[in-house]
Amino acid sequence: MHRFKIQSKDERTFFVTGEELHHLVKVLRLRPGDKIKAFDNTGAEWLGIIEFISEDMASCRIIAEGYPEVEAKTNVYIAMGLAKGEKMEWVIQKGTELGMAGFVPLRTSRSVVQLDHKKAENRVKRWQKIASEAVKQARRVVEPKIFPVADWAELPEIFPANMQWLLPYEEEKNTLFSNILQEFDSNYPIGILIGPEGGFTPEEVAKTKELLNARSVSLGPRILRTETAALAALVMVLAFFGELG
């Protein structure tokens, strides 16, 4: 069944508007009588029947309301150095399916990709769309937040002081992922720092420890591409806290 994000509803009706309406009418060609699901990022989900469609909205009578237990209780964020090609899109899409809470595109020393202010804004909009589509695919009810492209110094401003940061790092031979996770508290958010293709510089690694008190961990002896590392680390954190079955 198709799913839509909504901005407005009343007690017995929800309304599909804007781009979601366009998708409903022009792409999916849904009509009065069709059943759809809706969510609004509060954790609720509604089942409704389309009653009528105007130029501005599709009005849907609510048949059922629920609070599906589909969101991860542990809030895990990925902060990823700007990488080439479609790697960011890939991590955002699959990270959303897996259950991440949010994503920060990070300007790092070795990023080949440079984005001026306008490009960065457009890219973030596109990434938020990808996250929104993945939310529907995964049947989630809360969209992960895609943050504006950030510099290192902004991370302590964006996130609370109780954020627990992990730094998967190929130079780290000694510290087992699971050992570190045992020291983390899943009641507080967790952040995973992933470097661009060239990895982090030693200065950046030092900065993660200074600024963020990040714990560096090994992801094992095999060298992973940046996007593989991002997803592997995310899966390991979510699985450790029981969020993946």
Q: Contact 53/20 with Cβ under 8 angstroms?
A: no
Q: How many helices (H) and strands (E) does the chain have?
A: 7, 12
Burial class, 90, CB count within 10 angstroms (exposed 0-12 / middle 13-18 / buried 19+): middle
Number of residues interacting with a copy of itself: please give it, by CB under 8 A.
Answer: 39
Instruction: From 44-52, 69-77, 107-115, 198-206, give the range in contact with a copy of itself by CB under 8 A.
Output: 69-77
Residue 65 host element (H or E): strand 57-66
Query: Which residue in 192, 189, 184 sits closest to 160, CA to CA?
Result: 189
**Which residue's CB is nearer to a copy of itself, number 50 or number 135?**
135
Compute φ and ψ for 39, nearest 5 degrees: -145, 160
Which member of 2, 61, 94, 129 binds a copy of itself (CB under 8 A)? 94
Least separation in angstroms between residue 51's CB and a copy of itself is 28
Least separation in angstroms between residue 230's CB and a copy of itself is 11
Which member of 33, 160, 202, 221 binds a copy of itself (CB under 8 A)? 221
Within 191-220, which residues bind a copy of itself (CB under 8 A)? Answer: 217-220
Least separation in angstroms between residue 110's CB and a copy of itself is 17
Which member of 140, 159, 167, 190 binds a copy of itself (CB under 8 A)? 140
**Which residue's CB is nearer to a copy of itself, number 32 or number 242?**
242
Q: Contact 39/48 with Cβ under 8 angstroms?
A: no
* Helix spans in 59-116 (H): 87-98
Beta bridge partners of 16: 58
Residues at the interface with a copy of itself (CB under 8 A): 68-70, 72, 94, 97-99, 137-140, 168, 172, 175-178, 217-225, 227-228, 231-232, 235-236, 238-239, 242-245
